Structure 1
Amino acid sequence: MNILQVGDFNFDYYDESLFLEFNENTQTKVDKFQWNHYFSNYQYNSVFAKIYYTLENRYKCGLLVKKLNRDLLQQVKSGSYDVIFLWRAVHLYPSTVRELKKVAVVIGYNNDQTFSKHHPWWLFYLLKRGIPFYDHYFVYRASDKASIEKLGCTSSVFMPTFDASRIYPIENVNKQYDVAFIGHYEDDGRDQLLLLLIKQGFKVRLNGQRWQKSPCYAELNSLLGKDIEPVYEGYNEALNSAKVCLSFLSKLNNDTYTRRTLEIPATKTVMLAEYTDDQADMFKPDVEAVYFSNHQEAVDKLRWLIDSPDVASTIALAGYSKVISGSYQLKHRVDDIIKIAKEKMAVRNGK
């Protein structure tokens, strides 16, 4: 099966990871079309260029976006693809998707909630208009399925995954923190809980983006003794550095699970997460993970885990066993894509 994977490819743990997994599968041969370089990997030499190309990239209009679409069509015309997989194809015109569908099965995926009302109008407006021309669309959250199918496209959930080559236990690691949160800031009270944990005497690690927007930023920085910064290459080490890792859910995306739902147990670290039925179905409460419904319960559960290291170790091992034995790796999602692609190719060929 000849596949062209189309995407930004700006972060190796998103579309690049899937591309590498396609390469590992004996049923697929894969090429890529990437567009991060069209915007100079988002780094510019002048203020004018930064403003101009940021606006073009944001609003998906202008000469570079036109060129991106033309170049993709040219690559498809010069190649011979059975399937074109579009990862978060926010820059593609509906007319481009329609042309792609004339020569191959077109399958899409957005690792965000396409129809969330919390997103600005410009983020997914082209993507939404192009959905009727896809053969199938994978969604990260089941709540998006009905909206996709209303547009005449079949849809299914692309279950969350972790990349075992990037996320794994580090043996004999020094668990120097009681608890860590590695993630972005949202105005949902997560900053207040982290501040409370610090004041309760827990040794806290905090890394992530957009924390400058928190009203608690200055106090968090002062108590932590250093600036709150994101981690990229050291992400796995960060998860492994704590006895317990927190998992908050994005309210902007109406999350009921997240990547960290899998990544934290995959490091043999106890996950302390906001309770949802979906997460509890994946990891049994107080057996394979631990959940809280309010700040005080989070404090009490963390205190229990820190004061009971044998219990914490048992839960961490059970969570690790569940995630390793389950269908939660990218290779399983590649199998899902191949299955759908074969079905769509059979329909296309009249079989």
Structure 2
Amino acid sequence: MTGYSISDQILHRFILGSSFINEFLFDLECSIFEEKKASELTHRPVFITGLARAGTTILMRSLYESGQFASLTYDDMPFVMAPNLWRRMTSKNKKVRIKSERAHGDGIEVDFDSPEALEEVFWRTFHGKEYIQRTSLRPHEISLETHRAFESYQDLVCKKYGKARYLAKNNNHILRIKSLARYCNHAAILILFRDPHDQASSLLNQHNKFLTSPPFTRTYMELLAHHEFGATHRPFIFKKNQPIEGDPKTLDYWLDRWCQYYQYLLEFLAEHNPQNVMLVSYQRLCREPEYWKAICKFVDIPNIPANFSAPPSEHLPSSIERIEHANALYNALEQAAAAKIADPKQHPKTENITGC
């Protein structure tokens, strides 16, 4: 975000800050570029999600390298709701930027052609008031009308990039996972998880890093509804009267977020057994080449080279009870992920693991 000029910042605030403008741009985009015939949904989109710092960006990029997918990129900002119109407007002035490390400081480099998690602008435009609360993010249902608009949106992104399949990484999809699994039953939904202590430690580090981010970085994260950590943090709250407790500057707080997220997910899988959802263990991706092949098979692409590596673990102090509860959930996730590989039609029934 440091490379944005004052005029760029003003444009981003003006366009992304108004749901009315974004809905108007989307309607305009559809009227100009949408195919008139009904979509046959012969292509299979892929949605990647998970609690932040689970490895979702690396997985998205690995699939994107197959060349089979269209995905929103930094080049679509700030007109993410009208990508084809924006391309027409900027075709003679395409920006060029040398790759640089993203603000997370995790070694991942980006430029204008890099796929990125920008899709949440769509959901904030149509359902923002339902799930974005002052201090938290809450689960919500997708309306049939929005689902149909989302199908059109996928087609428009694919049209811009000349691909038949849509790919998106969106860490907020847990908030609408029930609707997505039901409405988008032709899609492949990959949900990542990672060792709880390592993932919570990474969340804590990122939270501290983004607490002192520049004002426009904070605005940028707000406009994209990215509230995972930092000064704009708003936790996922899955139960109506669930309190928001703990200090975000402690590891225990992030272990609680991890436990609540994946408890909710396991309960959803056990209750609904969606065949189009696959749990993905990041640890297994890093150590088992055959596991990556199984994921490629699930999303219907040829096996392609990929490199996954686990960052070094940090031994930060935490509550023994929380660690034990998180490890029990982690083992249940590993079992569910292994069962899905063995039988793609099933998720095992898991016991309700209480705690956190």
TM-score (structure 1 length as normaliser): 0.29
What TM-score does the superposition give when structure 2 sets the normalisation length?
A: 0.29
Which structure has the larger Rg over C-alpha atoms? 1
**With CA pairs under 8 Å and 6+ residues apart, which has the higher RCO, 1 or 2?**
2
